[in-house]
């Protein structure tokens, strides 16, 4: 009967195991392959499909080779966990590995969240509003029709969920002659609080260049970029609080006006850095010290307690009584000293008097 209860209890424990949740706190913005979903969201035994619907939006009809383009991906209608966290991927294919836009030749200038990865996490207020991410890209270096996908990872109803969008194609055409453009540009996407950012812009074929920036979704401010020694250089004003700043570069000449996508500037976190070798040495010090403490207490406690009245062994080994007695002992004793015991001879008092005084009267003259 007891065994039956035990078995029933164990079975009950197995049955009440909650449905799996992958990483409810998210994994952080980064550059990730489609296979990131392989362990949690992609496992059909753990994950369920999402009801997310995707919408793609471009800031221009087509892109030029090496030219800028911004793509906004919106996901709505998905189930949501209490946290409302939704991760959006921008992918070039769905093979599972080497499928980020960079692997297909795209360059991600900005992910709209202060980074340049293809995976961004956002909190959705509700499933109707959903989440939206704008990636600012540089088109691949060769012409063609390129395919992009979006993928959403999120939780909902106690399970990890994922959904993949339909393929979205973008035509990348030849560069028009004399088109203003940026060459091998690595935009600034993060900086410290209160830092003014000086930017060097590798713009070619432009007669004038402007820096446009805005705070959040606020008004756009335009600043002319100066040309000094054939280098376009400008400054983005410092942010005095933790605000979201977006900027873009507008390049013009007589025929064209070309604009990069909006690039989001994030704040550097804390600026903490530590020498890992030093940290390992500190860990070693902690290990050795704690071990030394344990061993010394263990050895101390292993000593036998012979008697409660007996002084500890360590004190016995450094017993200084004789030395103290000698130092306190009088060098000469008066023959008429009142402490001299009755019946002692002079010779006896000279030799043993000092020891007698220490033993019976605490030493000293």
Rounded least distance, CB 60 to another protein, Å:
35
Rounded least distance, CB 272 to another protein, Å:
5
Rounded least distance, CB 288 to another protein, Å:
4
What is the binding site for another protein (CB under 8 A)? 23-27, 270, 272-304, 313-314
Q: Residue 97 or residue 224: which is nearer to another protein going by CB?
A: 97
Q: Residue 97 or residue 335: which is nearer to another protein going by CB?
A: 97
Rounded least distance, CB 38 to another protein, Å:
11
Q: Residue 86 or residue 357: which is nearer to another protein going by CB?
A: 86
Q: Residue 8 or residue 288: which is nearer to another protein going by CB?
A: 288
Rounded least distance, CB 98 to another protein, Å:
15
Q: Residue 277 or residue 361: which is nearer to another protein going by CB?
A: 277
Count of Cβ atoms closer than 10 Å to residue 37 Cβ: 21
Q: Residue 39 or residue 129: which is nearer to another protein going by CB?
A: 39
Rounded least distance, CB 353 to another protein, Å:
38
């Amino acid at each position: 009967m007891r065994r039956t209860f035990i078995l029933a209890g164990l079975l009950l424990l197995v049955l009440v195991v909650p449905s799996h949740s992958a990483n409810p706190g998210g994994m952080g913005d980064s550059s990730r392959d489609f296979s990131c979903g392989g362990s949690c969201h992609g496992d059909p035994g753990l994950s369920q499909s999402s009801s997310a619907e995707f919408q793609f939006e471009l800031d221009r009809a087509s892109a030029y080779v090496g030219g800028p383009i911004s793509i906004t991906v919106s996901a709505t209608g998905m189930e949501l966990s209490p946290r409302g966290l939704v991760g959006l991927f921008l992918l070039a294919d769905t093979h599972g590995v080497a499928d980020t836009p960079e692997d297909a030749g795209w360059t991600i200038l900005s992910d709209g969240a202060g980074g340049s990865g293809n995976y961004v996490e956002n909190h959705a207020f509700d499933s109707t509003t959903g989440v939206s991410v704008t990636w600012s890209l540089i088109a691949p270096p060769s012409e063609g029709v390129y395919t992009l996908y979006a993928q959403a990872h999120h939780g909902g109803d106690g399970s990890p969920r994922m959904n993949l969008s339909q393929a979205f194609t973008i035509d990348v055409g030849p560069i028009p002659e004399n088109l203003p453009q940026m060459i091998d540009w690595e935009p600034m996407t993060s900086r410290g609080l209160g830092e003014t950012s000086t930017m060097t812009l590798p713009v070619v074929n432009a007669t004038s260049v402007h820096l446009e920036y805005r705070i959040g979704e606020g008004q756009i401010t335009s600043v002319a970029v100066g040309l000094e020694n054939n280098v376009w250089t400008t400054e983005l004003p410092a942010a005095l609080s933790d605000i979201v700043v977006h900027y873009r570069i507008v390049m013009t000449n007589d025929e064209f006006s070309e604009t990069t996508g909006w690039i989001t500037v994030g704040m550097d976190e804390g600026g903490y850095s530590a020498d890992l070798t030093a940290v390992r040495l500190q860990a070693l010090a902690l290990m050795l010290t704690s071990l030394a403490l344990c061993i010394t207490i263990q050895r101390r406690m292993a000593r036998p307690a012979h008697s409660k009245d007996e002084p500890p062994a360590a004190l016995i080994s450094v017993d200084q009584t004789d030395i103290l007695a000698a130092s306190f002992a009088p060098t000469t004793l008066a023959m008429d000293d009142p402490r001299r015991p009755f019946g002692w001879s002079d010779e006896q008092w000279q030799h043993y008097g000092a020891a007698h005084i220490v033993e019976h009267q605490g030493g000293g003259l």
